[in-house]
Amino acid sequence: MQQYSARGVHGQTVEVLAQRILTGQLSEGATIDLIALQSEFDVSLTVLREALRVLAAKGLVDARPKRGTFVRPRGDWSLLDADVLRWHFARSQVPGLFDDLHELRAIVEPGAASLAAARATDDDLAALDAAVAEMAAAGSDPAAAVAADLAFHRALLAATHNELVQRMEVVIETGLAERDRMVHGAGGPRDPVPSHQAVVDAIRRHHPAQAARAMGELLDQAIEDVARLEWPHRRDTA
Distance of CA 91 to the CA centre of its chain: 12
Contact indicator for 29, 69 with CB cutoff of 8 Å: no
Contact indicator for 20, 60 with CB cutoff of 8 Å: no
What is the CA angle 25-186-236, rounded to 5? 65
- Interstrand relation of 61-64 and 68-71 (parallel, antiparallel or unpaired): antiparallel
Q: DSSP string covering 185-229, please?
A: HTT--S--HHHHHHHHHHHHTT-HHHHHHHHHHHHHHHHHHHHHH
Q: What is the pLDDT of residue 90?
A: 72
Q: What is the pLDDT of residue 1?
A: 37
**Secondary structure of 25-52 in the HEC alphabet?**
CCCCCCECCHHHHHHHHCCCHHHHHHHH
Q: Splitting the chain (238 residues) into consecutive groups of 10 residues, what average pLDDT does each group show?
A: 61 92 93 94 93 96 94 93 84 67 93 98 98 93 90 97 93 82 66 95 98 96 76 44
For residues 205 and 217, give the distance between their C-alpha atoms in angstroms, rounded to a whole number. 18
Q: What is the pLDDT of residue 87?
A: 85
For residues 106 and 46, give the distance between their C-alpha atoms in angstroms, rounded to a whole number. 44
Q: What is the pLDDT of residue 182?
A: 73
Q: What is the pLDDT of residue 235?
A: 40
Q: At the top level of CATH, which class does the domain 92-237 belong to?
A: mainly alpha
Q: What is the pLDDT of residue 234?
A: 45
Q: What is the pLDDT of residue 232?
A: 45
Q: What is the pLDDT of residue 91?
A: 64
Q: What is the pLDDT of residue 7?
A: 64
Could you tell me which CATH number the domain at 8-76 has?
Answer: 1.10.10.10
Q: What is the pLDDT of residue 187?
A: 58
CB neighbourhood size of 185 (10 A): 13
Q: Which of 147, 122, 148 is nearest to 135 (CA)?
A: 148
Sign of CA dihedral 12, 16, 17, 18: positive
Beta bridge partners of 61: 71
Domain regions of the chain by residue span? 8-76, 92-237
